[in-house]
């Protein structure tokens, strides 16, 4: 369950946004609970240093992340002000370009997401569908090799 395939440099990545049924099953509060739990796990993880250390700033990122996923999953347009007319996923990729993200960082991120998702009590196929999005999309955030070179995968 929740399989992870490795990112390959230069590979074309295809993904599809989560099924709106995931949002319908969880509702806004359910998505928020999932994302807050996820970020609490991140805060204690090996990639915590990527994120703001100041609790107030961290809380802002947590809430922005929540609003992104609410909109991405078919809920209200809670994040569009940040993305300013740019397609959501495109905007997210640009935002992650500012950080040096390794495959190892992605695995840690996915591990936190898996741990949070396992606790959510909705149909397994909806969770699997959501997982497929994060598993694939996260490959596009990986942009740095172990020897420090920058690289890109593409849509």
Minimum gap (Å) between residue 46 Cβ and ligand HEM: 10
Residues 76-105 that bind ligand HEM (CB under 6 A): 82, 92, 95-96, 99, 101, 105
Which 3 state secondary structure label does DSSP give 122? Answer: coil
49 SS3 class: helix
Give the residue with the Cβ less far from ligand HEM, 24 or 46.
Answer: 46
In the complex, minimum distance from the CB of residue 123 to ligand HEM, in angstroms, rounded to a whole number? 21
Q: 7-36: buried (b, 16+ CB within 10 Å) or exposed (e) per residue?
A: beeeeeeebeebbebbbebbeeebbbbbbb
Crossing angle of helices 88-96/55-72, nearest 10°? Answer: 150
Query: CB burial class (10 A; 0-12, 13-18, 19+) of residue 90?
Result: exposed
Residue of 68, 71, 73, 143 that binds ligand HEM (CB under 6 A):
68
Least gap, CB of 79 to ligand HEM (angstroms)? 7
Q: Tell me the closest approach of the beta carbon of residue 134 to ligand HEM, in angstroms.
A: 4
Interface with ligand HEM (CB under 6 A):
47, 50-52, 61, 64-65, 68, 82, 92, 95-96, 99, 101, 105-106, 109, 134, 137-138, 141
């Amino acid at each position: 369950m929740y399989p992870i395939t490795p990112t390959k440099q230069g590979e074309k990545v295809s993904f599809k946004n989560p099924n709106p049924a995931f949002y319908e099953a969880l509702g806004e509060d359910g998505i928020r609970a999932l994302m807050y739990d996820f970020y609490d796990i991140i805060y204690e993880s090996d990639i915590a240093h990527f994120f703001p250390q100041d609790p107030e700033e961290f809380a802002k990122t947590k809430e922005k992340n929540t609003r992104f996923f609410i909109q991405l999953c078919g809920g209200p347009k809670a994040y569009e002000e940040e993305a300013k007319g740019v397609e959501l996923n495109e905007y997210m990729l640009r935002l992650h370009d500012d950080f040096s993200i390794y495959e190892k960082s992605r695995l840690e991120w996915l591990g936190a997401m898996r741990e949070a998702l396992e606790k959510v009590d909705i149909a397994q196929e909806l969770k699997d569908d959501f997982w497929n999005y994060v598993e694939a999309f996260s490959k596009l955030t990986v942009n740095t090799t172990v020897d420090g070179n920058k690289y890109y995968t593409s849509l």
